[in-house]
Amino acid sequence: MSELILELKGVDMQFGGLKALSNISMSVRRGEFIGIIGPNGAGKTTLFNAISGVIPPTAGEVRVAGRPMQGRAPNDYCKLGVARTFQTPRIFPDMTVRDNVRFAHTFGNASGQGIELIEQVMHAVGMAGASNETAGAMPPARQRQLEIAMALATSPRLLLLDEVAAGLTEGEVEEVARLIQQLRGDYDLTVVWIEHAVKTLMKTVERVAVLNFGELIADGTPEQVAADQKVIDAYLGEEEAA
C-alpha cells in the first residue's frame, strides 16, 4: 500500500459561532487523484486552508508525511511538499511571469534544478512564451495557469487545486482537466482538486470527497458518490437540475 501523504483526524474549524468544518477525518495516499465537491459554503476552501497551514484548525490533527503540523507555518507545509492554488490567484501583479515562478521556487526551497525547473514548469502549463509579461496584466484564466506554475516550482508532492477552472467554458474546463492529468504523471503528483464543474471532475478523478455544511458526507469512487442518496439530496440533484 502506498505511503500516507496527508492525514486528517477529527479536524474542526470554528469562526466565532460558525463551525466551518466539523470532525473531518480522511487520508490521502501517494499518487491519488481526489476531487472535492459540495455546495457553496460547504467548507471546501476552509479545508484547503487547514491542510496547507493558512489557518490552523481549532481542533483535531493534521499530519503531512507522518509529521504533526500543529503550530507550523505555510512554508513548513511547502517544504514538506504541499503546494496549493487559490480561488482568486495569489500572484505578484507587478512582477513578470518568470519572476513570479522564480520567487515561488525560492520560497519552496526547492532543490536542484533552479533555472531549468523554472523554465520547465512555465513550458508545462503553456506559459513559456509569456515569461516576460507582467502578471497583473493577464486575464484571470492565465493568472491561474501562472499560479499552477508557481506551485510546481516548489517541487511539490501534494498539489491542492482550488477551482482552477472557474469561469471557463466547458471546452476549456476539459482542457484544464487534461493538463492536470498530464502534470500529475509528469511530476509524480498526488492531486486534490476542488471544482464546481462536477461532470468533468467526476470523470477525471479516481476518488471523490463530498462536503456539506462543514461535514464530510461521502468519500468514495465517483460511481459510489454519484449513487449516494445523501450526496444527491445535498448537491448532485441540484447540479443535474441546473
Model confidence pLDDT, tens digit, residues 123-162: 999 999 999 999 999 998 899 999 999 999 999 999 999 9
Domain assignments of the chain as residue spans, ordered by start: 4-81+156-241, 91-155
Mean pLDDT of 31-56: 95
Long-range CB pairs of 77-81 (<8 Å, 24+ gap) are 77/51, 77/52, 77/53, 78/107, 78/108, 78/109, 78/154, 78/156, 79/108, 79/109, 80/157, 81/5, 81/155, 81/156, 81/157, 81/158
pLDDT the model gives residue 115 = 83
pLDDT the model gives residue 111 = 57
Tell me which architecture the domain covering 4-81+156-241 has in CATH: 3-Layer(aba) Sandwich (3.40)
pLDDT tens readout for residues 50-99 = 999 999 999 999 999 999 999 999 989 999 999 999 988 999 999 999 99
Q: Indicate if the pLDDT at residue 198 is higher than 60.
A: yes
Q: Which residues contact 233 (CB under 8 A, 6 or more apart)?
A: none
pLDDT the model gives residue 86 = 93
Q: Indicate if the pLDDT at residue 201 is higher than 90.
A: yes
pLDDT the model gives residue 2 = 78
**What is the DSSP pairing of strand 158-162 with strand 82-84?**
parallel
Supply 81's cell numbers. 511538499
pTM for the full predicted model = 0.92
pLDDT the model gives residue 102 = 92
Half-sphere exposure of 109 (CA within 13 A, CB side): 9
pLDDT the model gives residue 242 = 37
CA 171 to chain centre: 21
Q: Indicate if the pLDDT at residue 34 is higher than 50.
A: yes
SS3 annotation, the chain: CCCEEEEEEEEEEEECCEEEEEEEEEEEECCCEEEEECCCCCCHHHHHHHHCCCCCCCEEEEEECCEECCCCCHHHHHHCCEEECCCCCCCCCCCEHHHHHHHHHHHCCCCCCCHHHHHHHHHHCCCHHHCCCEHHHCCHHHHHHHHHHHHHCCCCCEEEEECCCCCCCHHHHHHHHHHHHHHHHHCCCEEEEECCCHHHHHHHCCEEEEEECCEEEEEECHHHHHCCHHHHHHHHHHHHHC
Q: How confident is the model at residue 106 (pLDDT cuts 50, 70, 90)?
A: confident
Supply 56's cell numbers. 490552523
pLDDT tens readout for residues 16-27 = 999 999 999 999
> In this structure, is the dihedral angle defined by the CA atoms of residues 193, 145, 56 and 43, taken in order, positive or negative?
negative
> Poorest-confidence range of 5-9, 43-47, 115-119, 206-210?
115-119
